[in-house]
Amino acid sequence: MQLLVTTSKSFLAIDSETAKEKIIHTGKGLYFGIALADDCIFVGARNSDDCFDYLGRQSSERGEILVFDYQLQLQKIIQAPFALRDIHQILWFDNKLWVTCSLDNLVAIYDRNSWEKWYPSEDISARGEDINHFNSLFYDGKQLYVLAHNFGASEIWRFNYPSLELIDKTKIGYQGHNIWTYGDGDFFTCNSLNGSVASVQGKHIEIGGFPRGVVATADKTYIGTSDIAERSERSEVSSKIIVFDMNWQRLAEFRIEAQGQLLDMRLPGVWDYCLPSLRPDPEKQKN
């Protein structure tokens, strides 16, 4: 099986057994979100590197969406009519691509024909300002969850769908990335600044480094983590993928040298608790 991985420099495919890696695409600056649709794979590329001053309000960054087939051949490049700045995680559901644009506190939505802007925060003054640093998305088929990094104590914002009416906010982690649940009511995030995984119900798993990027299959959880460095040096660091069993015992590690920070991961064709709306539940498949 091939893990699809984005880093500060490239879009990679990594064999989940041998750790052999292959560069699929490079040259578009920092690569971040990966979204799986039935017929293609979307990858967010920022067209700027890790040295980019993401707090610069006059930034000219204009991210793009690269579209690959499942043979990992680039099919086309999509650009929105407005700037996609500071792309983080992206997600495909309800026949739409949802793109977190953290610098502008917005989520861009693409339906294959047109684009629109959605601001999760009702605070008008937060529009166009990196206040909550919305960076991760999770959809369970009924509700949409958005992670507010908040440059500190993070929160999961839960919205009804499709009304996008805010239901509640739940505190979780510190400068968090990623949202997922194993179906037991507890939600997890990469507690990135503290080098761990944290859950709403108080679970704590030490990871080390700067964890970000998750795949959670029916029997394994893959967590990405990167060496810690100043922003000007992040594109030169190394990273690794740590594989855990369902009891959070370490099974293996894959080192990725000199590709910069690991930013996102996906494992096509396999049940992923991070993407419950895309694949049938493995427990249901047994019946």
Peptide bond into 162 cis (omega under 30): yes
d(CA 216, CA 213): 10
DSSP string spanning 141-195? Answer: SSEEEEEE-TTSEEEEEEEETTT--EEEEEEEEES-EEEEE-SSS-EEEEEGGGT
Helix, strand or coil, per DSSP, at residue 140:
coil
Nearest by Cα to 275 from 212, 223, 217: 217
Return the percentage of the chain with pLDDT > 90, whole number.
Answer: 83
Q: Report how far apart, in Å, the C-alpha atoms of 35 and of each of 28, 54, 88 are.
A: 17, 23, 11
Pairwise CA distance, residues 128 & 85, whole Å = 10
Contact present, 212 and 224 (Cβ < 8 Å): yes
pLDDT per position as a tens digit, 267-283 = 999 999 999 877 555 44
- pLDDT tens digits along 99-130: 999 999 999 999 999 999 999 999 998 898 99
State the pLDDT at residue 190.
Answer: 98
Domains of the chain (ranges; CATH) run 2-285 (2.130.10.10)
Confidence (pTM): 0.93
> Mean pLDDT over all residues of the chain?
91
